[in-house]
Amino acid sequence: MELINFTKVKDGKYLKNYELTYRNKAGREKVYEMVSRRELKKIEDIGSRPSGVSIVATCEDKLLLLHEFRMGVNRTVYNLCAGMLEPEESIENCIARELYEETGLRVKNIKKILPPSFAAVAISDTTTYIAFVEVEGRFEDHTSANEQIDAGFYTRDEVKKLIETEPFSSRAQLAAYYFSCHESN
């Protein structure tokens, strides 16, 4: 497989649509569609910079989950606190800002930040960090009028029930499953 060229076909406010021309393993040229949060200038730009963070947050042996309306699926789903890096913002500052904006909580301890991983490899070059943090404080709503987010802490037993009955984002579902099956460290 060889990527030959790409062309921007739509320039949205948050997403850029591209057509990628590539040579498949049979030697034929094919076109593939993708989206990016970044302005891509050359092939090497694809997937080259992290866009944001997903935050696996705990407090007193409970998992933080957001119950939020997501326009892309037209429903309310369980999700992790997450957000986009601002220009020149450190990942640590992004974690603190997003937690505060979406929940009112503060970072008590950053346990681990994993290297960036691809968020939706079939359709996008978006990469995000995954951060594991301990949080403190009380819930406050600092969201914009364009967000509907209800934050809550859940016990392992509550999380086990939610996983079986409620819609989740894939990363939140993985984090919730792991949390529900393992004791805290």
pLDDT for 182 equals 86
First to last CA, the chain: 43
- In whole angstroms, how far apart are CA 144 and each of 106, 168, 172? 18, 22, 22
- The angle at the Cα of 148, spanning 144 to 150, to the nearest 5 degrees, equals 115
pLDDT over 80 (residue 28): yes
pLDDT for 185 equals 54
Distance CA 73, CA 15 (A): 17
Q: How confident is the model at residue 70 (pLDDT cuts 50, 70, 90)?
A: very high
- The pTM (predicted TM-score) of the whole model is 0.91
pLDDT for 146 equals 86
Q: Write down the H helix ranges in the chain.
A: 91-103, 156-165, 170-181
pLDDT for 141 equals 86
Average pLDDT value for residue range 60-70: 97
pLDDT over 80 (residue 183): no
Average pLDDT value for residue range 168-184: 93
Q: Which secondary-structure segment (H or E) carries 115?
A: strand 106-118
pLDDT for 144 equals 83
